[in-house]
Amino acid sequence: MQMNHRRSVDNWKRCQNRGLDISPGQVRLLNLINEHHPKTLSELARLSGRQTSNLSRTLKTMEKYGIVELRKHDQKVQPVTKASELDIQYAIG
């Protein structure tokens, strides 16, 4: 279950070009969530190779920005992307 690294880099470049301050690691997490639909943070940790505690902090920040939702089921948390595309709009003047 290896993620397409090129797609992650391409998505990160698109976010950067639109002025969204999101790291390549965050884009990689979004791709993993979209592609694999993990049921728990532990499952996403295994997919990403990151520690669950570190992952939880990152996802909570992404949740504040409305990029992901952390759905609570009993004692488990499921990460869900809120959109498959990000559209950034700017107000001028």
46-67 pLDDT, tens digit each: 999 999 999 999 999 888 878 8
Tell me the two tokens of residue 70.
């952390």
The identity of residue 43, as a single letter, is E
pLDDT of amino acid 35: 92
Element housing 77 (H / E): strand 76-81
d(CA 51, CA 26): 14
Assigned architecture for domain 5-81: Orthogonal Bundle (1.10)
pLDDT in tens, 70-93: 999 889 999 999 866 655 555 666
